[in-house]
Amino acid sequence: MNRSIIALSVLSAISFNTIAAHHNHDDHAGHDHVVISGDLSVSGKPASPHTVTSNNNFAAGLNFEDQRAFENNDRGLLVPLNKASKATLQDRYSHLHEGQVIADKSPDSVNPSLWRQAQLNFSAAGLYEVREGIYQVRGTDLSSMSFIRGKSGWIVYDVLMTKEASAASLAFFLENAPEKELDVVAMIYSHSHADHFGGSRAITEAFPDVKIYGPEGFIKETVDENVLAGNAMSRRVGIQYGSTLGLASATGVVDAALANGFSHGEVTLVAPDYTFNSSEKFETYLVDGLEMVFMDTAGTEAPAGMVTYIPSMNAVWAGEMMYQGMHNIYTLRGAKVRDSLKWSKDINEMISAWGGTVEYLFGSHSAPIWGNQEINQFMALQRDNYGFVHNQTLRLANNGMTMQDIGSFIYDELPEQIRTSWHTNGYHGTYSHNARAVYNMYLGFFDMNAANLNPLPVHAEAVKFTAYMGGADAVVEKAKVDFKNGEYRFVSTALNKVVIAEPTHKAARKLLADSLEQQGYQAEGAGWRNTFLTSAQELRVGSMPGTPKSGSADVMSEMSVTNLLDFMAVKVVAKQAAENPFTMNVKVTDLKEIYFVEMSNGNLNNIIVESERKADATLVINKSDITQILLGQTTLETLLKSGQANIEGDTSVLSKLAAASIEFDTSFEILPRPLAGSEVDAQLYQ
């Protein structure tokens, strides 16, 4: 065998949804980040008269006179970004954005609220003083890098997404820091998403003695969240972030909600030396002599996370709990639904614990908030917004409203205070998909309408629908009328059936893409915009380069043997495997662990055991060597020949597993792609 079964099972498919520049990662972890195909220019079709009217009407309901967020962005600026630090992100958007001066001057093809958010994000670009002893580098990545003065040196809180961005930001800070002679002595991760730990090796390479801290469960959750469905998430995250849409433009990518975008480079991970909140909700700890109070927030924005209060500074570090917008309860790339009720309650805990004394609120994204009254108002509205999504969704559900309808009508339930605030708007998580997530969390996908319980498979259903509607040509003619009337949502619904049923129908394909594009132009959510526009692109010309391919070497090395064996099980074709049952011990010598693996009834099971069991074969290998295989630095064959690994008994179990396992299609079809020569409007993508 040229590679071990483990390598074959994992290497080709794990992405974690953060991307390295020359590899291509989630959670994303968590935010789900990708490399954009930067040499592509997307011109897009013009905004239709209905889209222009829709965006103008949307703008009329926005309070552009409220410029407080821009004022906070500018407050405390010490030094603008230099050439090296601008190159990590800002330079990719400087041809499109200018900041506050054009915040109310959105192009026809961009939702005016999203455009304003893009200008807000663009205007954060430099080294800022939050207060004496707290500084932030903003505008170099999806997240910000914060520096806190400890007793002997700097404590860095969240270290961006890539090693390159982190190194540039660190150098920029040290060059301009108020105390340039101090070292970085501690590094803290707020939660288990890559834009908060991915630049860690830049810090440890510059300061090898740095102490590293994180939330309880940090490593486990970083790896676990995206392993088993990693290939599907990787494909989907490319769409959510518009990774194939090329250069930022008024008809393409304009923003990523939390920042304009994210840096390109290597995602790294150095494991924490100590994790907080292993047994209590609150933990007080001295980090470089500075008293910090850590509060566990696991299960809100991330499965492992925390916020921090610094009593001597009256400052709260909010991590990812709050920013200038609403976060995802469900992320479009796919992930387990987050608990919006716990999110709301944890913010309430922060208010209860620290609301009386806090004077500075700063976090991973967006500018800080200053002053006790303004901070408490901000936190209360953030708390109530997540509570609103949870409680009103369940109120409507308990009155019989279905998930689909709740996604549409939740906007009608918005109180004036929430509706008119900028920082509750749905730039990352929209009210529509967040409300549907809450419904799904409690009630699942089924609405109890028996007609929806056992539908036909997608293609068979599309064929029947198209026939019932009078055939593809008839549907297209009706859709043309609705398109002219601005009924893009239903045009997309109807023509989706037609294109699935008849992929070669060019008129249907073209009009479906046009209807999705106009919805993208109207979308307030950055993920919605990118999803609509990328879907239109794939309908017109097929999948373009730019989707994620492989993951962070550091993150992959942290995968447990259980992670690997579980993922192998996902790749097994049950019918084939059922014909070739086997048992195998896997002895991981450097970890002193033994796993019993059993192929039974087409299912691959694994369990950690205290001693070897009677089995068809026993594989003896080091975890460090498994990692080397995963990274393509060695092969099982090489290890067996050198004696670094050994297999005893029936060696055919490996070939049985290989024969029953498949490799995932990393660019599987979502919408029917056009056949070669059948593309439509290809001139839009040059």
Residues 115-136: tens digit of each pLDDT: 999 999 999 999 999 999 999 9
Collect the ranges in the chain with pLDDT lower than 50.
1-37, 549-550
**What pLDDT is attached to residue 627?**
82
Tell me what percent of the chain is helix, strand and coil, each rounded to the nearest 5.
40, 15, 45
Q: What span, in angstroms and rounded, lies between the C-alpha atoms of 620 and 595? A: 11
Residues listed for the chain: 686
**535 to 24, 429, 559, 562: CA distances (angstroms):** 20, 19, 33, 36
* Predicted pLDDT of residue 40: 77
Q: Whole-angstrom Cα distance, residue 363 to residue 386?
A: 18
| pLDDT at residue 2 in the model | 33
Residue 22: what pLDDT? 31
Distance CA 617, CA 656 (A): 12
- Cβ partners under 8 Å of residue 373, min gap 6: none
Burial of residue 345, with CB atoms counted within 10 A of its CB: 0-12 exposed, 13-18 middle, 19 or more buried = middle
pLDDT in the model for residue 347: 98
Q: Say what the pLDDT of residue 494 is.
A: 98
pLDDT the model gives residue 637: 86
**Residue 163 is encoded by which pair of tokens?**
């090693």
pLDDT at 4: 36
Q: What are the backbone angles phi and psi of residue 572, rounded to the nearest 5°?
A: -85, 135
